[in-house]
Amino acid sequence: MSATVLDGNKIAGEIRAEVAAEVKSMTAAGVRPGLAVVLVGNNPASEIYVRGKVKSCEELGIYSEKLTPPETISTEALLSLVGELNQRDDIDGILVQLPLPPQVDSKRVLMAVDPRKDVDGFHPMNVGLLSTQRPGLVPCTPAGIIEILKRSNIQIAGQEAVVVGRSDIVGKPVAMLLINRNATVTVCHSKTRDLAGVCRRADILVAAIGKAGMITRDFVKPGAAVIDVGTNKVTDPAEFARLFAGNTKREESFRAKRSTLAGDVHPEVAQVAGAITPVPGGVGPLTIAMLMSNTIRAAKLRRGSNVELISASSS
């Protein structure tokens, strides 16, 4: 038996279509949602991410603005730029692309973003709103994970969920979102005893640890839903063989590119799980879709509108 593959591209497409319809009706009412992306310096990976975010805005009718201060910018100058964006009424969402250069105090910069415009959902005020089930802005990847589960008709209420990884960006917020939907949640990390044993209890297993193929079949209860958040670049042939031996399509690609993307979940888990997200094409596409959704949400929350769109508090 092989697991049902949860198609992130298809689900992201549904969300983008909903966002486009929202943008159309808001624009007709005289409000065009706006997103500002701050990209400091010339980090090639960050440039690719930002290009994807700006392109999505264009496709969905959201106004977008990319600001590119120099690599040498000081913390104070960046704080001043964020302050200006906070004041602008045509900007509903502000996204400061990480990582920032070493001379910049990243925490101070992220804290300076108006919580109502914090479309990444990282500000402590939004974290507090999430933990107390009040309407706010939720980090995009965790919100996307909930959408995958909901839209794939995977029950959350009453289920046992295990989250492997306790980062502020994915692990902790996804645990809170699952709790808000009445799952019983365990969060695991590097100090967890008998990690495989804890994971085997899970009806829903979320892997967000950043280690290629760490979650093997003996971590997974037969029939569980497995959500793989990892995107790890594999370049070592021995590591590649451990994960993808016998996958001729992957082998050809690896020989040509000398690298491949792997999730935190070993491909063998597909033989045990009931449902699984692939890498690539699983959680990844949802992250930008939920950023677009958050921009609309911010535009409505700031104006006191009744927020219907993809509510990320609880259901």
Which pLDDT score is estimated for 45? 84
Strand-pairing partners, residue 4, are 275
Tell me 104's DSSP state.
S
Amino acid at 147: E
Residue 187 belongs to domain with CATH number: 3.40.50.720
Same domain, 115 and 145: no
Same domain, 58 and 149: no
Domain boundary among 86, 120, 154: 120
Range of the domain at 84: 29-120
pTM: 0.93
Same domain, 115 and 219: no
- The tokens for 184 are 């019983």
Residue 314, domain member (yes or no): no
Same domain, 114 and 147: no
Amino acid at 213: G
Same domain, 108 and 244: no
Which pLDDT score is estimated for 18? 97
Residue 36, domain member (yes or no): yes
Same domain, 108 and 163: no
How large is the average pLDDT for residues 66-79?
97
The single residue listed with the structure tokens 């980062």 is: 167
How large is the average pLDDT for residues 71-97?
97
Residue 22, domain member (yes or no): no
Same domain, 64 and 188: no
Number of domains in the chain: 2
Say how far apart CA 138 and CA 57 lie, in whole Å. Answer: 19
Residue 45 belongs to domain with CATH number: 3.40.50.10860
The torsion defined by the Cα of 265, 271, 277 and 279, in degrees rounded to 10, comes to 50
Instruction: Please report the sign of the dihedral spanned by the C-alpha atoms of residue 207, residue 210, residue 213, residue 215.
Output: negative
Which pLDDT score is estimated for 105? 97
Same domain, 280 and 145: yes
Same domain, 85 and 37: yes
Which residues are known to be catalytic? 53, 97, 120
Which pLDDT score is estimated for 43? 86
CB 95 within 8 A of CB 291: yes
Residue 44, domain member (yes or no): yes
Mean pLDDT taken over the chain: 94
pLDDT > 70: percent of the chain: 96
Residue 303, domain member (yes or no): no
Domain boundary among 91, 120, 149: 120
Residue 132, domain member (yes or no): no
Residue 188, domain member (yes or no): yes
| DSSP per-residue codes, 11-69 | HHHHHHHHHHHHHHHHHHTT---EEEEE--S--HHHHHHHHHHHHHHHHHT-EEEEE--
How large is the average pLDDT for residues 143-171?
97
Same domain, 274 and 183: yes
Report pLDDT digits (tens) over 188-245.
999 999 999 999 999 999 999 999 999 999 999 999 999 999 999 999 999 999 999 9
Same domain, 254 and 156: yes
Domain boundary among 120, 148, 182: 120
Which pLDDT score is estimated for 307? 53
Say how far apart CA 213 and CA 242 lie, in whole Å. Answer: 9
Report pLDDT digits (tens) over 268-307.
999 999 999 999 999 999 999 999 999 999 999 888 766 5
Residue 199, domain member (yes or no): yes
Same domain, 113 and 217: no
